Chains A and B, each alone.
Chain A
Amino acid sequence: MIRVVLPYHLRNLARVSGEVSLELPTPATLAAVLRALEARFPALRGTVIDPASNQRRALLRFFVCGEDWSHLGLDIPLPDMVLGGAEPLLIVGAISGG
């Protein structure tokens, strides 16, 4: 089980209040988690990965076990701590804007 923490606006869009739990075969990559997230919550389609560029949206970040994975690409397998649910995958919105 993989735990995903969504930013406030995406929790509202998905109509969830806390963490999201996803069941995925292991090993699993960030891309696989995001695909599973969109499959379970269709309202989130295109909100994390821009479908036109297939890139992470610029004002979002991925934090994994205290490290910033935002620039590592989407196809690296996630660590066991995340795959086993001991640590969540954090999708974080930039603290910016008016």
Chain B
Amino acid sequence: MGKVRLLVGTRKGAFVLKSDGKRENWEVSGPHFAGWEVYHLKGSPIDPNRIYASQSTGWFGQIIQRSDDGGQTWQAVGNGFTYDGVAGTHQWYDGTPHPWEFKRVWHLEPSLSDPDTVYAGVEDAALFRSSDGGQSWSELSGLRGHGSGSGWAPGAGGMCLHTILLDPSDPQRIFVAISAAGAFRTDDGGQTWKAINQGLRSEHIPDPTAEVGHCVHRIAAHHSRPQVLFMQKHWDVMRSDDGGDRWFEVSGNLPSDFGFVVDVHAHEPETVYVIPIKSDSGHFPPEGKLQVWRSKTGGHQWEALTEGLPQSDCYVNVLRDGMAVDRLEPCGVYFGTTGGQVYASSDSGDSWNAIMRDLPPVLSVEVQTLP
């Protein structure tokens, strides 16, 4: 039947939740790294006992933790994130040049083929890679050298590289997304990069269709069809059928096309999930009703999933790394909120249960499907 292990990063530590294939009863361990912000944890797809975690605070900086036993024990590994060459400047909030400064790791993406190789998306936006299990890190500086880097500007949450998608069909192809620069793709393993923002429209920048400057919140793809991408942008839910070369809007009948998360059903490549948020000023669900919206048609037509979710007086948010799907049958869907709840569905989103109610604000949720 299989099992699942949920990796939850919060403002005050990490939690590891385990369940059998029914996904009804959960065993909780944690907090790990209590009192620290854990922006993200993720396990290796080929060695699920290998898990990487990003642990940080404003007091002590960045720590990377690694577990080799499925999250039972942890070892601090390397935290040397040094920009390649002369770091240069990007654009600051007031339009002036600002030096590139490392602040934290937002997202860790283990390689699809080597447990010792892992990518890190950091603030100020850059992509790093380790090929020795996190002991040492090197920047893939072709991304910042793309030519537009000096014009990138931070969003309200900082200038973070928060999304890393590895193409299962092409080890040389990687997609990343940066707030508020946009989406980028490499087809040569990270040496050179292309901005892939054509079709995006952002009214909050002087040229709404500019090559860069778009506040992309999350990109997701189905593993069997990596050229089809779904994007939750600051406003608009978007889709690309050609690896990001061209995007078109699929927001359809969503009550709000603002939000942070987007994910794809494990077995149905046209089934997509988002969580609409009222606006970029409210940052809570419309009308205080927490709803996951699902499209079974690859966008455009969406249905509200409400069973088991609070439908009044709910004013939480779900942050960009806060949703995941497992690979069991039926597909499990999970998300965590800034109110400290973790919701799980074991029936592809038809119904939901709060499996944790009182965690610190949830920053990220990942799930591992285990034999």
Give the interface of A toward B (CB within 8 A).
7-10, 12-13, 42-43, 45-48, 50-52, 57, 59-60, 93-94, 97
Contact = CB atoms under 8 A, between A and B. Distances in A.
Most A CB contacts (10 A, CB to CB) among B35, B60, B63 go to B60
20 contacts: A7-B59, A8-B35, A9-B36, A9-B57, A9-B60, A13-B63, A43-B76, A45-B80, A46-B61, A46-B80, A47-B60, A47-B63, A52-B82, A57-B60, A57-B61, A59-B58, A59-B59, A93-B59, A94-B59, A97-B58
Interface string B72-94: 00001001101000000000000
Contacts of A7: 59
Contacts of B102: 52
Interface string B27-43: 00000001110000000
Contacts, number: 43
A59 B59 CA distance: 5
Nearest to A60: B59
Q: How large is the interface on B (under 10, 10 to 19, 20 to 34, 35 or more residues)?
A: 10 to 19
A56 to B, nearest CB: 11
Contacts of A51: 80, 82
Nearest to B59: A59
B347 to A, nearest CB: 37
B76 A42 contact: yes
Given A42-B76, A51-B80, A52-B82, A57 B59 contact: yes
Contacts of B76: 13, 42-43
Nearest to A48: B60
Contact of B63 (A43, A57, A59): A43
A10 B36 CA distance: 11
B62 to A, nearest CB: 7
Contacts of A10: 60
Contacts of A93: 59-60
Nearest to A59: B59
Nearest to A14: B76
A93 B58 CA distance: 11
B310 to A, nearest CB: 24
A47 B36 contact: no
A37 to B, nearest CB: 13
Contacts of B34: 12
A52 B101 contact: yes
